[in-house]
A and B are shown apart, each in its own frame.
Chain A
């Protein structure tokens, strides 16, 4: 099949749980073949539910979705042949070793016997688990489990890969190595990647395009750069050294932009024009003889985008835990 058919097309997708919320409330999205699509949203936004529908684990209540040109509702068995998925809760058997997991996974996929061992070893090597390959997974760290789960998802050379919060709870180093691997899959192997995350930087740095989901709806979609420039101009935060100068400082700032919420002690504005105005601001404070303890320029972030679209900050917007609190060992409280 051609590369062009490796995308994802979702129209009006809905999932309503019995006695539960409308977890996914009519989403439309398109993922181009070979791109990394970042599905960004707080806990409980509907990311996993979407992934489960796209991977044929959960039938949609309404709407349609095509993965690699195949309908997830009516062509499930064909869809499963061309997709790989590492779900939020890495389903690993603590009593099996990495190599035994590979044996299981390659057999489940029906790889020819001769290929199984070779493919398994190759992938274990690729995710850097060769030394631990014969140890039981129960003793693995969170990062090792994630990497094994990713490797397992790749045994049948899927054309579309789903990763549900692959780095939640990981330390920065493990996160970085996973990013490298995902980038490589997309760039070198042409795999389309649908990746969900609660982390802004992850969506920002890893994804070609980002869909922001909140309460089951897509709040915004586009490249990280486009989304940020849509929000527009950077903001500036200043802290006057002498708190008595706050009022005058605000007056000066007001000439350059409109006030935005800022950290305690600080005053913030969104610049009217752009960073060229920075020089003017510094000069104005200088000629007013107001000393500044700090002056910070903030480029818009995806959090600003989220704030602008939903009225809330992404961090802490979720149901229960905050995205800022990775739990040890890759466990998450998200169900």
Chain B
């Protein structure tokens, strides 16, 4: 790429990101839902329900911190899902075509959405981390541990984003919203949300055992506690999910291009 072409490329990508963020800012209805569930969880558990941690066998150091890890993964994944909503909305509105026509190199559009999604994610992290700290969460992990924990959040975000983008690009309508949201919700709740996996009983126990989110949660919780364990599994699962979802999303992109 010549320097002029490179400038044009990043200019296009930034334009896509700018509109995405501008939308979040002018239409709270697009931004708020992805935050409501995580914040609701924090509020519920930081308060009355924290007596769960008195259950014998619960040996994590801080129940708010324990819940925070779930909220981090949940909020990150939902932020990714809502990027899918934006993509579907843009196609429905015809904005997708405007972008496809105006960008000479279309990968700039993908980069733009990714940029917007990353900035959104940072805002979400700042909010939930701030609320958790205010609620009295204590942190034991080192700086590196914490970075590793947020990294797991980022990977969950990217996997969910690819998943929902794949659906958005296939349906190109906001009506596909529930199809993006429900599976992510379900897989999140089929993980050890309230208590460690060892304390789960009944049908959910074997389900949680094979649920990839469990590995992410365990990894994040061990990092926050400063006693990293199972990281190979956590990162391995995260990257595999992303690889599968990337293929799903790219195929969706081809379908969208061919369908007009």
Residues of A within 8 A of B (CB): 49, 52, 55-59, 77-78, 80-81, 83, 85, 87, 89-91, 93, 95-96, 100, 103-105, 107-112, 152
Within 8 Å CB of B15, what residues of A?
103-104, 107-108
Are A90 and B11 closer than 8 Å at their CB atoms?
no
CA distance A49 to B7 in the complex (A): 33
- Is there a chain A Cβ closer than 8 Å to B190's Cβ? no
Are B93 and A80 closer than 8 Å at their CB atoms?
no
Closest to B8 in A: A110
CB of B96, distance to nearest CB on chain A (Å): 8
Given contacts A55-B101, A59-B257, 18 further A-B contacts (CB under 8 A): A49-B260, A56-B100, A56-B101, A58-B260, A59-B258, A77-B106, A80-B102, A80-B104, A89-B94, A91-B96, A93-B19, A93-B93, A95-B26, A103-B18, A104-B19, A108-B102, A110-B9, A110-B11
Partner of A96, one of B8, B22, B96: B22
Are A57 and B23 closer than 8 Å at their CB atoms?
no
Closest to A79 in B: B104
CB of A331, distance to nearest CB on chain B (Å): 13
Segment 63-117 of B: residues with Cβ below 8 Å from A: 93-106
Partner of A108, one of B16, B27, B259: B16
Within 8 Å CB of B22, what residues of A?
95-96, 100
Are A108 and B12 closer than 8 Å at their CB atoms?
yes
Are B97 and A91 closer than 8 Å at their CB atoms?
yes
Partner of B93, one of A52, A91, A104: A91
Within 8 Å CB of A85, what residues of B?
101
CA distance A90 to B101 in the complex (A): 13
Partner of B101, one of A80, A103, A104, A107: A80
Are A93 and B95 closer than 8 Å at their CB atoms?
yes
Are B23 and A95 closer than 8 Å at their CB atoms?
yes
Closest to A107 in B: B15
- Is there a chain A Cβ closer than 8 Å to B14's Cβ? yes
Within 8 Å CB of B26, what residues of A?
95
Are A87 and B14 closer than 8 Å at their CB atoms?
no
Closest to B258 in A: A59
11 A-B residue pairings within 8 Å (CB atoms): A57-B101, A58-B260, A77-B105, A80-B103, A80-B104, A85-B101, A93-B93, A93-B95, A96-B22, A107-B12, A108-B15
Within 8 Å CB of B259, what residues of A?
58
Within 8 Å CB of A104, what residues of B?
15, 18-19
Within 8 Å CB of A112, what residues of B?
7
Closest to B91 in A: A91
Are B101 and A81 closer than 8 Å at their CB atoms?
no
CA distance A107 to B12 in the complex (A): 6
CA distance A87 to B26 in the complex (A): 26
Within 8 Å CB of B96, what residues of A?
91
CB of A53, distance to nearest CB on chain B (Å): 8
Q: A104-B18, A110-B11 are in contact. Are A87 and B94 (CB under 8 A)?
A: yes
Are B12 and A109 closer than 8 Å at their CB atoms?
yes
CA distance A59 to B105 in the complex (A): 16
Are A110 and B98 closer than 8 Å at their CB atoms?
no
Segment 3-54 of B: residues with Cβ below 8 Å from A: 7-9, 11-12, 14-16, 18-19, 22-23, 26-27
CA distance A76 to B16 in the complex (A): 20
Are A91 and B98 closer than 8 Å at their CB atoms?
yes
CA distance A59 to B257 in the complex (A): 8
Q: A57-B260, A108-B99 are in contact. Are A91 and B16 (CB under 8 A)?
A: no
CA distance A57 to B260 in the complex (A): 6
Within 8 Å CB of B93, what residues of A?
91, 93
CA distance A302 to B239 in the complex (A): 62
For B104, B105, B258, B259, the residue with the greatest tally of chain A CB atoms inside 10 Å of its CB is B104
Closest to B102 in A: A108
Partner of B97, one of A78, A83, A87, A107: A87
Are B94 and A110 closer than 8 Å at their CB atoms?
no
CA distance A107 to B16 in the complex (A): 9
CB of B208, distance to nearest CB on chain A (Å): 41
